[in-house]
Structure 1
């Protein structure tokens, strides 16, 4: 077992012990996040020159899967943190201020949150109503953020905004805001069916007298296309795979227990288990294929930002999110009432409720509509090994 995997397993053990309480109480998975910091897993992506370990997205995805089997909320917090870190690593290397920020993330194990959604834009992260208002060498920002996952517990927030008050809604920048530079007034509570521990409340975010050097130098359009889209879909998918793996494991244990009770007989649920296992393997293959394509294209902004690559990532998110839901539902059908109850070793209520969020995180209909536009300009490819 690699050092990354061993550290993740230790965190997963902590996360699993508290997962039910996190879900039941709708609270932040503080024990799991404390364990992530203790194992120094929040700075994994930071390059060695800034004190990190230079881990790639493939390694982060594996850890997301491990955590997803233990506590969905803790795994999603870890994934969302590393999605934002990937933007810093990809686009902040030439900025002295963001280089120092990466050093702090690695050294202090800072937790990074995201503020890309905003009231009035319908969930479209590629548009902003709020704007950076610059005066000399500082700026101010006020944003009605409909959701900031674990915003009240983050050490810093990366927020999107228009470049200036007269800019188009799509002319955006990404700014790094430290917790002591902002005020957050809660405007909405996160009272949901599942993923309750992400604590994705709504906030009015206010920042004043923030140095302009904290604005990432590249336009958010480039950041979204070259790092954020890929890291979001790949890491989210890995979390959902972890949730599905937990469900399949529970179903397998249930069928094996049935077989032990009736030696010499194949339980009728065994066929259903084979079907679910087949779908689970196909889900894994889809994610692994996408991770390999990303790894092959690493550092090639033209390839990662190409129409074909964007279509592949969109298809990954839609396919895996739908598959995850069906796999967990299939596992529940196998386990039956023992999975429906909350007080059995085979309970699947929490993972089912959590995984139902998968098709809703950037809604699949929105993604399919975007893919439809891209397909109008994409050139066809009929090659099996380069699809």
Structure 2
């Protein structure tokens, strides 16, 4: 059966999302209606196999859909991204013969909303370390205590995938990956008042001794750089779906720039700005910059789906494409603002919102420093 993104995310649905996006940005609220419509469309289980009740799509198809969604409502796309990361990791592991996240797949079909609880203030180790305490229980469960930041979907998630450090293990410290429910031991700060991506409501999460049951403890690994499947799964799906969101933002900015150049007329020449050689050059540069990214993202997504083994090359490939997508999108939005003129400076203008939303990309792992360090290590070896 031919994959048709418009059948899953039809134009009328995206039009509603785009209209609401301006409201949620202005009012700093979560897009509950968007999530409800996405749930009804089965979007939260697009990466779940058909035999479990999902759409059975691969990462490559999910990437195209996230680009399409981000073009209408970037914050909605970024928030849903974090749920899709976990269903994507479940798929990556299952494809490689590790069924430990089947409960995530079944939960997504049943209506669970999974949030991503990895980021911690000042922890530039990200997947390779944690400041959250993970204390083992006699039955194999764990108690997690600590603070997670940038927890998207904060008002609505039902299950939080997270990691913490067990320092009591007799064979040395272990990073523990697990899932915890929303209980009284978890509190969410109402602290999301940001420049852009306001609809994600990525608030700070306080873990006050929340328990992960034994069957929800999915991995215990050594801290530090690792080729463990859980690390690869998270890193690959996270980076590629992030790249997809920002590539989608760039596409929308390019569309708005073309529309503005066609509509606006020069007082000097009486012609549409689309005939101005400087404007044509600017838009051409935007198109050239944009065109490379959908192909790169699609290629790497296809490699993950096909279980291609790039070995340690995966890390510079993935951090690199995420970095390129964000810097490209920021460049394209910058240029679109100039094409559209002073009206784009008003907050009511869609480009103004995209301008602020796209800035968030620089703060997601891998940040520019990490991406360049990874590339340098791959090309030059580690520093002496």
1:179 and 2:176 correspond: no
Give CA-to-partner distance per residue, 1:190-223, whole Å, 9 cap, x none: 2111011111111211354432121114648424
d(CA) in 2 for partners of 1:130, 1:276? 47
Displacement of 1:228 after TM fit? 1.8
SS of 1:152 mapped into structure 2:
coil
For residue 326 of structure 2, what is the aligned residue in structure 1? Answer: 321
Indicate whether 1:237 and 2:243 are aligned.
Answer: yes
Structure 2 residue runs of 5 or longer lacking an equivalent are none
- Separation in 2 of the partners of 1:127 and 1:279? 38
Normalized against structure 2, the TM-score is what? 0.86
- Give the 3 Å change call, closer, same or farther, for CA 236–120 of structure 1 in structure 2: closer
Secondary structure, counterpart of 2:127 in structure 1: coil
Provide closer, same or farther for how the CA distance between residues 47 and 163 of structure 1 changes in structure 2, counting only shifts above 3 A: farther
Question: How far apart are 1:96 and its partner, in Å?
Answer: 6.9
Are 2:377 and 1:373 equivalent residues in the alignment? Answer: yes
The aligned length equals 372
For 1:219 and 1:52, how far apart are their aligned partners in 2?
30
1:142 is the counterpart of 2:175:
no
**Pairwise mapping of residues 1-387 of structure 1 onto structure 2 (< 5 A)?**
2-9=3-10, 10-91=12-93, 98-106=101-109, 108-122=110-124, 124-137=126-139, 138-166=141-169, 171-180=174-183, 183-187=185-189, 189-217=191-219, 219=221, 221=226, 222-223=228-229, 225-258=231-264, 267=274, 269=276, 271-300=278-307, 302-303=309-310, 306-343=311-348, 347-362=350-365, 363-377=367-381
Change (3 A) 1:167 1:117: farther
Q: Offset at 1:82? A: 1.0
SS in 2 for 1:206: strand
Q: Which runs of 5 or more residues in structure 1 are unaligned?
A: 379-387
CA distance in 1, matches of 2:170, 2:67: 40
Are the equivalent residues in 2 in contact too, given 1:115–1:158 (CA < 8 A)?
Answer: yes
Alpha-carbon distance in 2 for matches of 1:265, 1:208? 61
**Distance in 2 separating the partners of 1:233 and 1:307:** 15
Change (3 A) 1:136 1:250: same
- 1:32-52 superposed Cα distances (whole Å, 9 cap, x missing partner): 111110111000101123221
Shift of 1:20: 0.7
Are the structure 2 counterparts of residues 168 and 238 from structure 1 closer, same or farther at C-alpha, using a change threshold of 3 Å? farther
Alpha-carbon contact 1:173-1:219 (below 8 Å) kept: yes
Cα deviations by residue, 1:257-304 (Å, 9 ceiling, x for unpaired): 13599776665655434433443343332332242244135353742x
Give the secondary-structure state (helix, strand or coil) at the position aligned to 2:91.
helix
Closer, same or farther: CA 356–375 of 1 in aligned 2, 3 Å: same
The aligned counterpart of 1:381 is: none
Mapped to 2, the partners of 1:170 and 1:269 lie a distance apart of 63
1:321-367: CA deviations, max 9, x gaps? 111111111011011112112446xx411000001112222221222
Alpha carbons 2:120, 2:130 under 8 Å: kept: yes
* Two-structure CA RMSD over aligned residues (Å): 2.9
